[in-house]
Amino acid sequence: MPPGLAMGTCSKAGLRLLRSGAPGGPRHTRPQTGLPVALAATKFRYNRSFASYCKPAMSHEAPAPISNFIRQVIDADLASGKHASIVTRFPPEPNGYLHVGHAKSICLNFGLAEDYTGLCNLRMDDTNPEKEEDEYIAAIQEDVQWLGYQWQGEVRYASNYFDQLYAYAEELIVAGKAYVDDLTPEEMRQYRGNLNEPGKESPYRSRTPDENLTLFRQMRDGAFADGSKTLRVKIDMASGNINLRDPVIYRIRRATHHQTGDKWCIYPMYDYTHCISDALEGITHSLCTLEFEDHRPLYDWVLNNITIPAHPQQIEFSRLELLSVVTSKRKLRQLVEEHLVTGWDDPRMPTISGMRRRGYSPEGIRLFAQRAGVSKTPNVVDFASLEGAVRETLEEASPRVIAVLDPIKVTLTNFEPGVTGSRSAPFHPHHEEWGEREIPLAREIYIEREDFAEVPPPKWQRLTPGGEVRLRYSYVIKCDEVIKDSAGMVVELKCSLDKDTLGQNPVGRKVKGVIHWISAEHAIEAEVRMYDRLFTVARPDAVRGDDGEYVDFKQFMNPASLTVITGYVEPVVRDAAPETRYQFERLGYFVTDRKDHVAGGKPVFNRTVTLKDTWATQGQA
């Protein structure tokens, strides 16, 4: 499906044929737009790869914006003339891979900028040199672009502003609003007080501006040991907001920085850096999660006490809590370092790179972010909502192919040996312009083991001994004989094929069941990774034991979160490129693995999501 290909629909007759299990619905016709002329004139055959038509951007339309309190603030600011346009930013710390919570923030900040014809910056808040790496910076940029967004100009770094941050710190010192403190971290905690008791002023708070300026410059020049001194702003040690009890804005730390090298041995704290970086970039609306609400007075205090022209407005919204996952970077790193997952991009991880490798579409993640909403109330969302949004976008965008993942051999006893027929099937029931593929039919085929029952339950409509079922896009077959091995397991079915049943039921008999199948001779063997949820409980990091202590979240890991099997897939997927998405008919959505799949080699598929929410039907959601 080339980019820009118009959506098409099957004819009513074609849909009737599909529903009846006839040979594949509407025949291939030359599409009106999109396909190269040479290919448009050629009927798809089973050995022609459809990969190049599966990979481009999806046709699922972007959802319309939904009003929320942040949009109301922006609307009022633009209407009043406070701002002529808006500038937002996405400011991750490059100390790990982005996860689903970051995806919501990306969609919010970049989405608002798009909707209001504004700008959005990508800024690395890189003030902690010991934890930040270029690997994470590259991954962050890739994730943002994969989600469909582009920042204005170059990637920005808080470290680009270290000189200005230092100058503003000296300005605060000269004004008597900052001082160098010699308290140890433990002493500082004791002096800070708590929510019920006011803090105590440091004995070093009374140092003169000249003394503080000299000491601060000596800190910069490396005269003191790491952690021996800090620079604090002088606000109010009795404040009910602990963040205003003379917070530290600089500390001594000898560490090589990924951007500035060894130029600095003092580094600014996040709260101090964040607001000034916003102001220097001309950010109009600084959007943060709700835990920064108590930090807003400090954000405003810093900007009100330095000579900086801009004063962005910080607005807080509730953090996304997605059930059945953990999003703490510390816990995610633990999973990686203890080899409980294969890496940050393991398809079971809630990282953007993990979701991408699993086959989630950027459109699905954006749709999920919109549906999750923006508010100040707790934003608790079931994992099924994410899967549902992904499933919804994949439904219209994924070509259909047949795969058999747990095969039983079926021998069609009245089908001539050595002869290969074929049945036509559309790549998508709603996209006639995508064309068809030819599915080879031979004497020996595979069906799914779960589509056969020796002793069927009530209302069973699949294959049984002596029963009939239709092969999808093909004929009706009847099971005449069941062959078992020495352990009593069914290993083969002998069936007869009714050659008068293409597109119609046999005379006098009504066959309701339709199952999928694949030619044993022509099928391609594939490695199929059946992924499921990584944890078995909704909040794995919030379960307390009998002693009241939190239980190690790793105890709730799902032992069935990954099962690797060998399956059989239509030969049309032979040349599929990595990250090619398909719907395996009746089974779910699958994608060729981003790393391990090689076009032309043995396919490697990841299950993205089932056709339905199986956890809900099991009562486990």
3-class secondary-structure state, position 210: helix
Neighbours of 278 (CB within 10 A): 26
3-class secondary-structure state, position 35: coil
Looking at 329, 333, 462, 594, which residue is catalytic? 329
For 558: left if phi > 0, alpha if psi spans -120 to 50, otherwise beta; the answer is beta
Backbone angles phi, psi at 78, to 5 degrees: -70, -40
Is 82 a known active-site residue? no
Residues across the chain: 621
329: DSSP letter: H
Is 512 a known active-site residue? no
CA gap 301, 311 in Å, rounded: 11
AA letter at 59? S
Binding residue per annotation — 214?
A: no
Return the residue matching tokens 């070093």: 204
Return the residue matching tokens 């031979």: 442
Neighbours of 182 (CB within 10 A): 14
Using alpha carbons only, what angle is made at residue 397 by residues 394 and 403, rounded to the nearest 5 degrees? Answer: 75
CA gap 319, 289 in Å, rounded: 5
Using alpha carbons only, what angle is made at residue 583 by residues 582 and 588, rounded to the nearest 5 degrees? Answer: 130
CA gap 329, 513 in Å, rounded: 48
Q: Quick one: angle between helices 69-80 and 100-115, nearest 10?
A: 30
Neighbours of 162 (CB within 10 A): 21
Binding residue per annotation — 320?
A: yes
Give the dihedral sign, CA 543/546/548/551.
negative
> E strand or H helix at 165, and its extent?
helix 162-174
CA gap 3, 122 in Å, rounded: 27
Looking at 205, 319, 462, 586, which residue is catalytic? 319
Question: Quick one: tokens of 359?
Answer: 């086959």
3-class secondary-structure state, position 463: strand
Residue 177 near residue 306 (C-beta atoms within 8 A):
no
Binding residue per annotation — 125?
A: yes
Question: Quick one: tokens of 384?
Answer: 């099924």
CA gap 34, 344 in Å, rounded: 37
Question: Quick one: tokens of 294?
Answer: 């108590």
CA gap 305, 499 in Å, rounded: 87
Q: Please list, in sequence order, all residues whose beta carbon lies within 8 angstroms of the beta carbon of residue 554, skipping any fewer than 6 positions away.
A: 334, 335, 338, 340
Binding residue per annotation — 498?
A: no
Q: How many H-runs (helices) and E-runs (strands) does the chain carry?
A: 15, 27
Question: Quick one: tokens of 487?
Answer: 């352990």
Looking at 55, 71, 93, 205, which residue is catalytic? 93
Neighbours of 248 (CB within 10 A): 17
Binding residue per annotation — 270?
A: yes
3-class secondary-structure state, position 12: helix
Binding residue per annotation — 95?
A: yes
Binding residue per annotation — 533?
A: no
The torsion defined by the Cα of 181, 182, 184 and 188, in degrees rounded to 10, comes to: -30
Is 319 a known active-site residue? yes
Binding residue per annotation — 433?
A: no
Q: Which residues are annotated as a binding site for L-glutamine?
A: 125, 270
Active site residues: 93, 319, 329
Q: Which residues are annotated as a binding site for ATP?
A: 93-95, 289, 319-320
Q: Which residues are annotated as a binding site?
A: 93-95, 125, 270, 289, 319-320
